[in-house]
Amino acid sequence: MIGRILRIELRRSAALGVALLLLATGVPLLITSTQFFAGRWMLLAVIARSILVVLLPLALAGGAWLGRRDARHRVGELFTSTARPRWHRTTVTAGALAITVVAAYTLVCLVAAGWVVPTAHYFPGATIVVAAVGVPALLAAGWLGMAAGRAVPRVITAPVVAVAGFALLGLVPELAAQRDPDLAAFRPEPSALLLIPVINELDDFQTIMPRVSALQTLWLVALAATGLLLLGTVRRRATALALLPAVLGAAVAVPLLPIGGTRGAAVVDPAAIELVCDNAGPQVCVTRVHAELLPDVVGPARQALAMMAAKLPNAPVRAVQTQQVSYWARLDPRAAPAPHSADTVVFDTPSFDRLGRADLSGDYFLPSLLEAAWQQECADQSVQGDEYRARIVAAAWLTGRPPAPTGWDPAEVERLVSAYQALVSLPEAEQRRRMAAAREAALACQGDGLVAVLPEGQP
């Protein structure tokens, strides 16, 4: 009997419409931003969690619309007069909504996986766990929306809960992340912020701690239980008891969750940063999570190494992709990374195209490789204007051509060309000595030594 009623609910209720709405929203959001996750499984899980900022309010609104069905058709008194308890009817309807929203979320992830499978070489096991946290989140949203629709059976209820949900999920994390620029100390976000299941951003080398995913799931399951209990209650005392699972879930989760929001919940995945190398020539390595980039970068990397060897004393002999997490993804951006050795040039991850390959259009990659000869992974990642100009001049010295950066102010380009001409006007031995000294200073995280290659410290 229950199975037959469930099939009827799936065919005729608004539950199917809610699922179609989630699909029609989630799929375009993902396939229009494939460059952010193509070829990387963990980034797919992260972006699936990030679009919950839109999907959860829609699930709330859909649940609210479904929850006011009895009042809309004026059958509330008729059903109340039967001997069957309210929770018998509401549980089946809630089950139909649960099936449809979970199926919609799963299909959204499967469609997006089509942009990951062809180029991905690394599948972290935590991917499924991170993405699966969205399931109890959607269940909680749908059932809380149904409870709101039953409690306030008005047409305006659905849009109101949608707006409220979007404000909670989108604005609260932004407000919590704001910092007073006058504060010298770094102030991470409170741990309670991780009760919101939306993940804003994650570096390619990171994963979410299993403990965080488990605690978020615990809290969301408790919140979903509260929504289901609220949907079946008829008395005030029962309503108060229905809030107990959510309160207990938050009381258990918040003290155990880390501070710092997504950055506090993220850790470096050791397997993701393992190096995959091409040794058919000067060694070129990329991280395991970016193994699909190796065929694209090996050519420009060896070209850059050859240009360095031709002119630079004690030139690097291998090129390796950075294994450092981007500064914006660190809980404390001031933490000092481990420096690399002088025989290695460390390059930043190139941009991705929509298919997960390296996007080397615009001829930016080779100059960035040459500039990397005068870079070190220092604690202070900020680069002053003169230091950045000096790197451009140094890279131009390797190419033997004046610098011509695109998009720069003509007066600024003229100053760079003037600095380059002043450098190459020196005797060749002096040029090599200065550039070698500048590189030693840069590798020692002494930016002033690099700036010294410019005439009188200024371009």
Q: For 18-26, what is the mean pLDDT?
A: 94
Distances (CA, A) of 335 to 36, 128, 436: 26, 30, 28
pLDDT over 70 (residue 380):
no
Q: Grade residue 181 by pLDDT with cuts at 50, 70 and 90.
A: very low
Helix (H, G, I), strand (E, B) or coil at 347: strand
Bridge partners of 376? none
List Cα–Cα distances, 45 to 108, 226, 350, 406, in angstroms.
11, 26, 21, 36
pLDDT of residue 133: 97
Q: What is the pLDDT of residue 86?
A: 58
Position 138, amino acid: L
Q: 145: how many CB neighbours lie within 10 A of its CB? A: 31
Q: Above 80 in pLDDT, residue 79?
A: no
Could you tell me which of 367, 352, 288, 354 has the C-alpha nearest to residue 320?
Answer: 288
> What order of strands is seen across the sheet that includes strand 275-278?
275-278, 284-287, 318-321, 344-347
Q: What residues have CB less than 8 Å from 91, skipping those under 6 apart?
A: 228, 232
CA separation for the pair 285, 293 (Å, rounded) = 10
CA dihedral sign of residues 371, 375, 381, 385: negative
The secondary structure element, H or E, covering residue 268 is strand 266-268
Query: Measured at the alpha carbon of residue 202, what is the angle toward residues 197 and 206, in degrees to the nearest 5?
Result: 110
Average pLDDT over residues 143-166: 90
Lowest-pLDDT range of 216-225, 272-281, 410-419: 410-419
Is residue 57 within 8 Å of 166, Cβ to Cβ? yes
pLDDT confidence band for 182 (50 / 70 / 90): very low
Q: Which helix (H) or strand (E) holds 287?
A: strand 284-287
Residue 56 confidence (pLDDT): 96
Report which secondary-structure segment, H or E, holds 246: helix 244-256
Q: pTM of this prediction? A: 0.87
User: Is the per-residue pLDDT at 271 higher than 60?
Assistant: yes
What distance lies between CA 252 and its chain's CA centroid?
27
pLDDT per position as a tens digit, 40-49: 999 999 999 9
- pLDDT at residue 92, as a whole number: 82
Is pLDDT of 446 > 80? no
pLDDT of residue 185: 47
Alpha-helical segments (H) within 331-409: 365-371, 385-399
Q: Record the tokens describing residue 353, joined without a space.
A: 């195209």
Query: Which residues have C-beta within 8 Å of that of residue 207, sequence separation ≥ 6?
Result: 42, 124, 126, 130, 266, 267, 268, 269, 272
Strand 344-347, strand 266-268: pairing? unpaired
Mean pLDDT: which of 256-260, 324-328, 414-418 is highest? 256-260
If one compares 28 and 376, the residue with the highest pLDDT of the two is 28
Under the banding of pLDDT at 50, 70 and 90, the label for residue 5 is low
- Mean pLDDT across 134-154: 92
Highest-pLDDT range among 45-59, 169-183, 228-242 = 45-59
User: Would you state the pLDDT for residue 93?
Assistant: 84
- Helix, strand, or coil here: 182? coil
Which of 8-22, 101-115, 199-213, 253-267 shows the lowest per-residue confidence on average (mean pLDDT)?
A: 8-22
pLDDT confidence tier of residue 177, bands split at 50, 70 and 90: low
| Residue 194 near residue 216 (C-beta atoms within 8 A) | yes
> Which residue, among 266, 284, 396, 280, has the nearest Cα to 326 in the 3D structure?
266
At 62 the pLDDT is: 92
DSSP-assigned states of every residue in 61-130: HHHHHHHTHHHHTT-HHHHHTSSS-HHHHHHHHHHHHHHHHHHHHHHHHHHHHTTTTTT-----THHHHH
Please compute the mean of the pLDDT values over residues 92-116 and round it to a whole number: 93
pLDDT at 180 over 50: no
Does residue 333 carry a pLDDT above 80? no
Q: What is the DSSP letter of 281?
A: S
pLDDT mean over 412-432: 87
> What number is the average pLDDT over the span 214-240?
87
Report the mean per-residue pLDDT for the chain.
85
CA angle, corner 147, sides to 56 and 255, nearest 5? 60
Q: What is the pLDDT, as a whole number, of residue 179?
A: 53
The residue type of 172 is V
Q: Assess contact for 25 and 47: CB atoms under 8 A.
A: no
